[in-house]
Amino acid sequence: MPTEEMATTLSYLRGPDRPLLELTVGGLLHRTATLYPDRLAVVSRHQQKRMTWAELSEAADRVARGLWSLGIRRGDRVGLWSTNCIEWIMMHMGCARAGASLVNVNPAYRSHELSYTLTRSRMKALFLWHKDKRADYEEILGRARHGLELELAHTIYFDGQEWPALLDAPGELPDHVAVDDVANIQYTSGTTGMPKGVMLTHHNIVNDGQFLAQGFHYTEQDRIVVPVPLFHCYGCVIGTMSALNSGAAIVLPNWTFDARATLEAVHEERATSVYGVPAMYVAEFGLPEFESYDLTSLRTGMMSGAPCPVELMKRVLNEMHIGELVIAYGQTETSPVVTMSDAGDSIEVRVNTVGRAMPQTEIQVISTVTGEQLPRGEQGEICARGFVVMKGYDGDPEGTALVIQPDGWLKTGDLGIMREDGCLHLTGRSRDVIIRGGENIYPREVEEFLYTHPKVGEVQVVGIPNARLGEIVAAWVRLRPGQEATEEEIRGWCQGQIAYYKVPEHIRFVDDFPATLSGKIQKYKIREFEIEARGLESVAKTQMA
C-alpha cells in the first residue's frame, strides 16, 4: 500500500471513508417505505400505473410469497426476460425479499443466446411477456429450450393468468437474507466468447446506490426519468438503487428507449433528473420539436454507458438545463460505478473526466507490462478494489481469477490516466470490446457465431466509430473456397439468432487479413482501413471525457 507521500505522485486514490450500509435490498426497501410511505416510488407511463413506496413494499412481499409457493427458496435463481415495466421493479424487489437471485435476461436475446443463459444460470423460474412489437418471446423460448434438460420448472407470463395468481398465492417470507447473498446475476459478454454471469450481492448494489444518490444530491423530492434498460446495470442499479436509497421516484417513459417519450416524461412529470447513454441524448436533440418541451425542472442527470463526447456533454448542460450533469465510469463487474463526478463539481471536471473514486473504493492505474502503479499523468490499466467488486463470475472460478487478483484488485481492462487532482480520464480499452450505444459487444462472441455459417472460412470482427452510437460492428469475412455470398445473406443468417446490436452493420469480403510475422491478426489495421475507406477520420477523433 503506498504511503500518503507516495499517493501524491502515484496513480492511486481511495475514495472518502463514508459508512457502508449493512442492509439487503429488501431491508432498504422496508426502510424507505417506512420513511416515505406515501411518496411516489414508480411511474410506468406507458402502462399508466403508479405506486407509492408503501405499495411497492407490499407488492414485493406478494411477489416473494408467490415465489415461495413455486418452491423458490433462498439462493435459487429466477429469470426475468422483459423490457421496462412496473412488473420489472416488482420482480427486482420481490426476488430480493425472497432471497432469490434475479437473473437479468436481455430482451434482445434470441434462441441461441437464450439457450446458453437458461442452461448456464440454472434458473428455476422465468418471468416474461408472451410477445411485444419486437419479438415473440414464447416462440423464442420454445426453440431455445428444445432438446435441453433444464432446471426451469416454471414459466410465468405477466400477460397470462399465472402472474395475478402468483401475486395472490399464500406463502412465506424467508427468516434471513444475508447482505453477501447474490441479489443479481447479469450476463456480460466475456473475452472467451460467451457471456459470463456477473454475481452482484446485496452489499454491492445497496451501497453503490447509496453513494450514487449522494453524488446526485437526491432527496425524496426528486423524480428520475429512466429510459435506459432495466436489465442493464445502468437501469437496475443506477436507475433503481439510487432511488431506493433516497426515496426519489423512478419514472419509466416507455418499454424501450424512445426519445419523444423520454422528453414527454420530463415535461409532464416535472422530472429533476434523467439518465441516458450518449446515443440517447443525441436522439433527443434530434427531435424536430425538441425546443417545445419544458425541461427547466431538470437539475441533474447522468451520461454514461459509453464514451461521452465532450461537445455533447456541453449541449446537455446548456440546452437541457442539466446544470449538475454527472459522468460515471464502471462496468457490470464493479456493481457498476467505481468513479463518478459530483453534481457540485466544476464543469471542467464533469466535462473532461469521469470523476474520482467512489467512497470506500480504491482506484489505481498500473503498467500493462509490469503491473506496477504508474505516476499520475501516465496511461495504464485501471484497477478497482473495495465493496464494488463482484462476488465473481457464476460457475467460473478460472474466469474470476483472471480479473480479480489475490489481493482483491479487479483489472478492468480499460486504459486511463489519473490526473494530479485524482480525477480519471479514460483513454481506451485494453480488452477487445465494442461499445455500441451502451451495449457491450465482444467481437469473439460474434465471430464464433458467424463461423457457424457454412460458407464462412474465417472472420474478424472490429468496432468502427459512429457519430450516433459511438461504435458499430464491422466484419471482415474470408469465404470458404469456391463459395460466394452477399452482405445481406450473412446478416440474414444472424437475424433472430443473435441480438440485433451484435449483427455486423458492415461486412467486407476479403482474401486475407493483416497479420504479424507470427500470424497474429492485426485488428487495429482492419479498423484503420475501415475508418479511411468510409471517411470516418473526423468521427474517430471526436474528443471523449
Pairing of strands 410-418, 380-386: antiparallel
How far is Cα 398 from Cα 176, in angstroms, rounded to an integer? Answer: 31
User: What range does the domain containing 183 cover?
Assistant: 13-418
427 confidence band (pLDDT: 50, 70, 90)? confident
pLDDT at 505: 96
Query: Do 472 and 409 share a domain, yes or no?
Result: no
Task: Give the mean pLDDT of the chain.
Answer: 93
pLDDT at 34: 98
Query: Do 398 and 438 share a domain, yes or no?
Result: no
Range of 226-240, 277-291, 432-446 with top mean pLDDT: 226-240
Whether 443 maps to a domain, the answer reads yes
- The 10s digit of each residue's pLDDT in 13-39 is 999 999 999 999 999 999 999 999 999
Angle at 85 between CA 187 and CA 278, to 5 degrees: 65
- The 10s digit of each residue's pLDDT in 376-419 is 999 899 999 999 999 999 999 999 999 999 999 999 988 899 99
Report the number of distinct structural domains present in the chain. Answer: 2
Query: Do 210 and 352 share a domain, yes or no?
Result: yes
**Which DSSP string corresponds to 409-462?**
PEEEEEEEEE-TTS-EEEEEESS--EEETTEEE-HHHHHHHHTTSTTEEEEEEE
How far is Cα 232 from Cα 243, in angstroms, rounded to an integer? Answer: 16
Whether 387 maps to a domain, the answer reads yes
Mean pLDDT of all residues in 511-534: 83
Query: Do 330 and 461 share a domain, yes or no?
Result: no
We report the CATH number of the domain holding residue 375 as 3.40.50.12780
- Can you tell me whether residue 184 is helix, strand or coil? strand
Half-sphere exposure of 150 (CA within 13 A, CB side): 26
Whether 381 maps to a domain, the answer reads yes
- The 10s digit of each residue's pLDDT in 337-379 is 999 998 889 888 988 899 999 999 999 999 988 999 999 999 8
Query: Do 111 and 230 share a domain, yes or no?
Result: yes
How far is Cα 225 from Cα 266, in angstroms, rounded to an integer? Answer: 7
Region of 221 please: left (phi>0), alpha (psi -120 to 50) or beta.
alpha
Whether 429 maps to a domain, the answer reads no
In Å, what is the CA distance from 510 to each residue of 70, 460, 474, 529? 54, 10, 13, 12
Q: Which of 208-217, 265-274, 420-429 has the lowest mean pLDDT?
A: 420-429
Q: Does an H or E element contain 102, and which?
A: strand 101-105
In Å, what is the CA distance from 191 to each residue of 402, 437, 502? 11, 19, 15
Query: Do 408 and 463 share a domain, yes or no?
Result: no
How far is Cα 435 from Cα 465, in angstroms, rounded to an integer? Answer: 10
Whether 112 maps to a domain, the answer reads yes
Last residue of a domain, one of 418, 442, 465: 418
Last residue of a domain, one of 362, 384, 418: 418
Structure-model confidence comparison of residues 407 and 9, the more confident one: 407
Peptide bond preceding 336 in cis form (omega within 30 of 0): yes
Taking Cα atoms as reference points, which of 275, 343, 282 lies closest to residue 304?
Answer: 275
Last residue of a domain, one of 393, 418, 443: 418
Query: Do 146 and 42 share a domain, yes or no?
Result: yes
Whether 450 maps to a domain, the answer reads yes
Cβ count near 402 (within 10 Å):
14
Mean pLDDT of all residues in 152-179: 97
Mean pLDDT of all residues in 156-173: 97
Structure-model confidence comparison of residues 524 and 44, the more confident one: 44
Half-sphere exposure of 188 (CA within 13 A, CB side): 27
Structure-model confidence comparison of residues 142 and 314, the more confident one: 142
Whether 7 maps to a domain, the answer reads no
With beta carbons less than 8 A apart as the criterion, state whether 392 and 182 touch.
Answer: no
In the block, residue with C-alpha cell 442493464: 232
Query: Do 97 and 213 share a domain, yes or no?
Result: yes
Query: Do 212 and 241 share a domain, yes or no?
Result: yes
Whether 8 maps to a domain, the answer reads no
pLDDT at 520: 64
Strands (E), 299-401: 300-303, 324-330, 337-340, 356-357, 361-366, 380-386, 392-393
Query: Do 276 and 372 share a domain, yes or no?
Result: yes
For residue 516, is pLDDT > 70? no
Query: Do 413 and 506 share a domain, yes or no?
Result: no
Predicted TM-score (pTM) of this structure: 0.87
How far is Cα 44 from Cα 254, in angstroms, rounded to an integer? Answer: 7
We report the CATH number of the domain holding residue 500 as 3.30.300.30
Query: Do 373 and 517 share a domain, yes or no?
Result: no
| The residue type at 166 | L
